[in-house]
Structure 1
C-alpha cells in the first residue's frame, strides 16, 4: 500500500498522496460504500492540476491499477459497486475558476470546484447555473456531470448535458482531450458532453467544464396544490398543456405532502421565476385551476418558499443509511399511478423522471416492474451494499448494451476507470 502512495507522491507531492490507513475514517466509510466488499484501495491521490491528473492516470494505466474517481464523495454511493479498486483519485483540489464570460453567459471551471462556490461567484454578477444537484453545499462540478445530477429545474432548463458547452478530460491512458468549446453556438466535433454526462467516470475523468449560465430572475413564487389523485392528475395535465412556464414542477406522493404539512392526498408543486407581474399572474392562474378541481392551494414566497424547497430535497434524499433511493422515469401521464403506489416519491411533471424512497428491496422490485410496464425504468442510486449485491442496480432492458460495451472498449480498453460502476458491470 505504501509503495503505491509513494509512487504517486512523486507526481502530486507527499501531502496529496495518502495511504489508506491514514485517510480520515468518515471518508473511508463513504468510499467503501462504492466498492465491492473484499477490496480496499491502497491510497487516495489528490492532483492539483489537469497535468498532474493526467500523469497520475498514466501512472495507474502503466501499472494496470484500477481507479475509483471521486470529487467530494457526496454521491460516491450512487451507481454500481466498483470491483478490485487499487487507488482512489479525487479531483476536489482541481478547483479553480478558469473564465467567466459575463456578456456571453458562459463560465468555465475546474471539476473540483464546489457547486455552492460557483453559484456564489455567478450571483455576484447576477447570474446562475441552472442546475439543482442533490447535495448543493458539497457537490463538485465533476461529480454533478459524472452522475448527471440535477432535479426539479429540468422542467425549464433540461438536464446536465443540456447545460454543458465543453469539457476537458483525461483519457484512461493519461492523455488530455477536449470536446466542445466555450461558446453557446458550438457545433465542432462529436458531442462527447452528452456521452460523459451520467457515465460515472467510466470513460474518462473530467478536469474542466464550460456551462451556459442565465440571468438571476427578479422574483420567485411557488404554488402548491393538494387533494384527490384524479384532480391532481388533471391539474398536471392542464399545466403541461398550458402557456404557463414554471421553472420547477413536481408531483408529490401523499406521505411527502403530509410530512411537509401541505395538506392531504397527492400534491403538485410549481415554481415560477420571472418579473413580478409574470410570477403573480402565472401563480394565480394555476391556483385558479386547482380551485376549479376542488384542490387545496397555497402560494409560497420569500423565505417560506426557500424553506419549502429545502425541506422537499431533504425529504427525498436525507435519512438513515438503510434507505433505498431510486431514480425512475415513466411517461408523464403515468406519474400519478406510480405515486399512489409508494409512500415517498416525487416525479417531475414535464419529463416523468423522479425520485422514490423505499425501506426494503421487495418494494424496489415491484416498482421496477410497474415502471417498465409504463415504458420507463428504475435505477437504484443509493442503497445498502447487501441490496446492491442482490438487486441489479441499473435494471437495463434496452438493446444498446453491445454499443455501450464497444464505447467502453474504445475509451478504456484496460477497464481501469471505475470498473463495475455502470450498466452491466461496465
Structure 2
C-alpha cells in the first residue's frame, strides 16, 4: 500500500489488512482503493489536506446510501477517523486534518432522485457532479443558480459542505438559501433527513443551514433537494474600469438603483492586468432577463460609467467565457507557494479592501464576500490584511496554502463569540470527533 503522508512520525495508523478486508466486504473489491491508484492531482490534494503526522492509505467509494451508512457504522465501531469528500476538488481547503484513517468519497452516489419540473425542485445524490446536474436541468430549461469553484468537477455535496456559491449570490443568495432538503449519515451510521421536496416546506429544525459550510465535520451529506430556476432568455455583461473612487460610486449607484443584476463583482487592478486592462479597479456586472430588459439595463449602466469617466464595454455573445476566464485566473493551478484566501467585509468597505490586497482579487459587491490569490505572500502582509478585515466587520480565512504556512498561521482567524457554541454542536453531532477532525474553525 502507498501511504500518503508528509512525515516519518505517524501516530495515526493507516488501515490494517483486517480493516481493508471488512470494508471490502461492504463496498466490494472495486469500492476501496489504495491511494497510489488515484490520479496524481487527487493525490496532491489529499497530501495538502492532512497534517504531517497523519497517514492515510485508503479511499472508500460506497455505491449506495446504505453502503455509506454501513461504512460509517464500521468506522465508529473501530474508532477510525474519517475525511469525507466528493471528487476531492476542495479537499485541501481549510485546516490540516489530523487523526484520520480513511477517506470516504460520495463520488459514486451520483443519481438523480427526482426532478419536479413544475415545482422547480430537484433532488440528487451528493456525489452528482455540478456540471452533470446543470446539463440535466438545462434539458428542461432550468438551472441551479450557483457558480461554484471548479464547476467542472465539483459535486453537489462538496458545494454544500464548503458553502461554495460564487458570483450569482447577488441575485439568488447563497447555497443555504437554495437548499430545500437534505439527507446525511450521522456518526453512528444512521440516516437522518431534514426539510423536504417542496419550496414551502418549513417543518423541522433547519439542518440545511447548519450543514452548509460545515466542511464535513458534522456528518456525510448523501442527498440534497434544491430550488431551481428557469433559464433566462438573454444575458449581457458590462465591464467598467477606471479610478477606484469612480468604481465605488458606480457600484453604489447600481446597487441602490432599480436595476436587477444577477452578479456584481469588483476586480483588483492585478486581476484586470490578466485581461490586458490597465486600471485601478474594475466592476463586472451580469444582467439576465428578457432581451429588451437586458439591453436597457446594460445601456443604463454604461451611461453611469461614462458620466464618472470610466471605460465601459458590453459583452453580449458568450459572456460566460469572460466570467469563466476570471475564475480561472483565481483558481488555476500555479506555484507551490500560492495562497488563496476567502475574505469578508461590509460592502461599503469592499473597494478600500480590494485596494489593499496587492494580488488577484474579486469581491461580490452586494455582500462583501470575495477571494484573493497570491503566487507568494509574506505572513506579515497577510496578517495585516486580516486585521484590516476584522476592523471592517469581516474576516480573512486561508483556503489554500502550502502546508508549512497552515502549520504556522491560524487558518480561520476567527475571533467571534460563537466558537463555544460551534464546539457544542460538533460534540452533539460527532462526540468522538471522527469526521474531519481539526479542519474547521478552532480546530473543530
Q: Tell me the TM-score normalised to structure 1 length.
A: 0.98
Q: In terms of mean alpha carbon deviation, does 18-27 or 166-175 score higher? A: 18-27
Give 2:174's aligned residue. Answer: 159
Q: CA deviation at 1:4?
A: 2.1
- Is 1:318 the counterpart of 2:336 in the alignment? no
Gaps spanning 5+ residues in structure 2: where?
1-14
Q: 1:70 aligns with which of 85, 95, 104?
A: 85
Give 2:122's aligned residue. Answer: 107
Q: 2:418 aligns with which of 400, 405, 420?
A: 400
- Is 1:268 the counterpart of 2:286 in the alignment? no
The answer to whether the Cα contact below 8 Å between 2:59 and 2:105 also exists between their aligned partners in 1 is: yes
Q: Distance in 2 between matches of 1:64 and 1:174?
A: 13
Give 1:299's aligned residue. Answer: 314
Q: 1:411 aligns with which of 408, 429, 434?
A: 429
1:13-162 matches, within 5 Å, as: 13-162=28-177
Q: Distance in 2 between matches of 1:27 and 1:252?
A: 30
Q: Tell me the TM-score normalised to structure 2 length.
A: 0.94
- Is 1:187 the counterpart of 2:202 in the alignment? yes
The answer to whether the Cα contact below 8 Å between 2:181 and 2:208 also exists between their aligned partners in 1 is: yes
The answer to whether the Cα contact below 8 Å between 1:5 and 1:42 also exists between their aligned partners in 2 is: no
Q: In terms of mean alpha carbon deviation, does 272-281 or 1-10 score higher? A: 1-10
Q: Distance in 2 between matches of 1:407 and 1:325?
A: 28
Give 2:372's aligned residue. Answer: 356
The answer to whether the Cα contact below 8 Å between 1:235 and 1:289 also exists between their aligned partners in 2 is: yes
The answer to whether the Cα contact below 8 Å between 1:328 and 1:354 also exists between their aligned partners in 2 is: yes
Q: CA deviation at 1:42?
A: 3.5
Query: Cα deviation per residue 1:270-327 (whole Å; 9 max; x = unaligned)?
Result: 0000000100010011101000101000000112x12211111011111313211011
Give 1:375's aligned residue. Answer: 393
SS in 2 for 1:370: helix
Cα root mean square deviation, aligned: 1.1
Q: 2:438 aligns with which of 415, 420, 423?
A: 420
Query: Cα deviation per residue 1:239-259 (whole Å; 9 max; x = unaligned)?
Result: 111111100000111111121
The answer to whether the Cα contact below 8 Å between 2:53 and 2:98 also exists between their aligned partners in 1 is: no
Q: CA deviation at 1:401?
A: 0.8
Q: Distance in 2 between matches of 1:4 and 1:302?
A: 55
Q: Distance in 2 between matches of 1:258 and 1:26?
A: 28
SS in 2 for 1:75: coil
Q: Distance in 2 between matches of 1:385 and 1:217?
A: 43
Q: Distance in 1 between matches of 2:24 and 2:96?
A: 27
Give 2:293's aligned residue. Answer: 278
Gaps spanning 5+ residues in structure 1: where?
none
Q: Distance in 2 between matches of 1:24 and 1:156?
A: 37
Q: Distance in 2 between matches of 1:301 and 1:110?
A: 35
Q: CA deviation at 1:26?
A: 3.5
The answer to whether the Cα contact below 8 Å between 1:6 and 1:14 also exists between their aligned partners in 2 is: no
Q: CA deviation at 1:194?
A: 0.3
